[in-house]
Chains A and B, each alone.
Chain A
Amino acid sequence: MAVTTIAGADIHVDDDGFMTEYDEWSEDLAGELARAIGIELTDAHWKVITFLREDYKEQGETATLRRVTTAGGIPTKELFQLFPKKPARKMAYVSGLPKPVGCV
C-alpha cells in the first residue's frame, strides 16, 4: 500500500491508485480526483457519487454499473457520458472506493 498526496491531502491507495480508506475521502478531494482524470464534476456526477458512497456503506462493496442503474436509477448510457469509456472504474475512483469486483 502506498500513500500519495493529492491537493495537499495524504491518502492511502492500492497498487492501481484507488483509495483504500473510506474515511479519507471528502467532497473537496472528489473534485481533485476527478480533475486528475480529466473530469469536471457537475450535479449529475454528484448524484452518482452520492449513490456509490451510500451503497458502499450498506453493501460493503462498490456497485457495478448495472446496480447504479437498477438500484440508483441512473441510466447506464448517462454513466458513459459522465465518466467516459470506463465508467465503472472512473466513478469508483472519484468516489474514493475500490474498483468494483462484480462482473455484471
Chain B
Amino acid sequence: MTTTETKPFVPDFGDDEEDRTIAFVCSKGSLDMAYPGLIMANGAIESGMEAHLFFTFWGMDMITKKRQDHLHFSPVGNPAAHMPAALAPLPGMQTMATSMMKKQIADLGIPSVPEFIAHLSEMGAHFWACRLSVDMFGLEREDMIDELEGILNVSDFIEITKDAEIMFI
C-alpha cells in the first residue's frame, strides 16, 4: 500500500537516547569462539555503544601476539561439526577443519583475529587483560597486543563496567 505523508519521514537514529555500554568477557581460545565477541563488539560500536572486551583464561590467546593468528577449531566432541565422531580425532583433522573455517570466514569478508582487533581498536573499543590469567600464563606486557589498555583484576573490571551490559563468551 502506498501512503503519502505530509511531514517528512526521517529515520530515528536514536541520537537523543542515553549512551549505552556493553562488555564482553572473552574466555575461549578456539577459532570459532573467538569471533562471537569480536563480531558483537563491532556491531555494538556501530550502533553507537561503548564496548569493552575483557580477556580471561583461554581467551588470552586472542590477545597474545604469538598465538592470536594461530587459533584452532577442533571438531572433537563437537556434534555441530557435522562429522562422524570417530573421524574427528584423526591426525590432521583439526588442521584441516581450522583451515576450512578460516577460508569460510575470509570468504565472507570477515578479517582475521589480529586484523579484527586492530579494526575494533580503531573504532574505539577498549581491551583489557585479566590479572589472574596474565600471572597464571606467565605473560609479560610485551607478549600481548599493543592495543591492550591495561591489566585488570576482577574488582577493577566490575568497577569499569558498572553501568554496562555484560556478555560472557
Contacts and interface: CB of A to CB of B under 8 A. Distances in A.
A44 interface: no
Interface in A74-104: 75-77, 80, 84-90, 93, 102-104
Interface residue tally of chain B, by bracket? 20 to 34
A17 B46 contact: no
A85 B10 contact: no
Given A77-B122, A103-B43, A104-B111, A90 B9 contact: no
Interface residues of A, number: 34
A3 B2 contact: yes
Contacts of B46: 65, 86-88
Contact of B15 (A1, A36, A38, A66): A38
Q: 3 closest A-B pairs (Cβ-Cβ)?
A: A85-B48, A17-B11, A4-B9
Interface of B: 1-6, 8-15, 39, 42-43, 46-48, 108-111, 116, 119, 122-124
Given A65-B123, A66-B42, A80-B123, 12 more contacts: A2-B5, A3-B3, A17-B9, A37-B10, A38-B15, A66-B109, A76-B119, A84-B15, A85-B13, A102-B109, A103-B39, A104-B42
